[in-house]
Amino acid sequence: MVKILLDPSMYHPHLSVPDELRKAADLGFQYIELSPRADVHEWHHYPKVNRAWIDEVNRAQKETGVRIHSLNPVFNWAHPDELQRQHQVRNWKRLLEIADALEVPLIATELSGDPNQPVASEGQFYKSMEELIPTFEKYGLECAIEPHPYDFYETNSRGVDIVRGVDRDWCTYQFCFPHAFHLSEGAGDVPGMLDYAGDTLGHIHLADVFNHLANVGNRYIVNPPGADARVHQHNEIGNGDIDWDTSFEHLRSISYDKAISVCVFGWEEDADAANVRMRERIAKELGSN
């Protein structure tokens, strides 16, 4: 049995957070994962909420019965520039204060940094984590971290190793299905990656994706060739190259029972139906609570 979270990203342009909680309830979700929004916790920016907003969101959680189970900030705490790193740590401290006020138990985030300066970024990441450990522990928060495409490390094994280096039970690894081919340099071996994560696995993002290295790298095309960019999708199950039968079977075999976030992006014209289909498929395969 897993907790199935809705990432309401496709509703951000036209719904407030309280209305996203109401939308989640209408779609049959009990939990959401609040991904970056310009009016709350925009990428790399200081959170833009006050006590009145927190009170309004808490009222909506009580009214709907839907809880924000996870916040999904992207703050560049591994930035090689020290002043920028300090700004991002400040962002983090405020975000964790907000999470506590909303009674959110989980933070899902990214390594960030610069893939062209991996050693410097790794050092900055651990420096930031050392500064933030007391705040995470003060509020009793779990932090699930992934190596996102264009982070200072981008593969599953390196991401898991970085998390293990923090050596705190509440610091876990987040596996992101729509990044599976970046995480594995095209191999897409989901069971192998999950097994490498082992007991560090704490959270999952779930959507489908095409293999950017398939068909001689021509599944989709980036211009100019060799551009310093990373391309992927967050598609509905069945619209990509993930082997879902094998993946779900493996999740059952390891008795995965933590949170899974439905994170389909870019299909706003079918958002409601797609999110419901995703929720129903996950519940069918893994059960839900």
Residues of the chain with pLDDT under 50: none
CA distance 89 to 39: 19
CA distance 180 to 282: 18
What the block records as the tokens of 205 is 């993002």
With b for 16 or more beta-carbon neighbours within 10 A and e for fewer, the 254-278 pattern comes to eebeebbbbbbeebeeebeebbbbb
CA distance 113 to 119: 10
Domain ranges of the chain: 3-286
pLDDT at 228: 82
pLDDT at 141: 98
pLDDT at 223: 80
With b for 16 or more beta-carbon neighbours within 10 A and e for fewer, the 19-50 pattern comes to ebbebbbebebbbbbbbbbeebbeebbebebe
- The DSSP call for residue 171 is E
pTM across the whole model: 0.96
pLDDT at 247: 98
Reported as a single tens digit per residue, the pLDDT across 130-152 is 999 999 999 999 999 999 999 99
3-286 to CATH, choices 1.10.10.10, 3.40.47.10, 3.20.20.150, 3.90.1860.10: 3.20.20.150
Cβ atoms of 287 and 1 closer than 8 Å: yes
The residues pairing with 259 across neighbouring beta strands, listed in sequence order, are: 3, 203
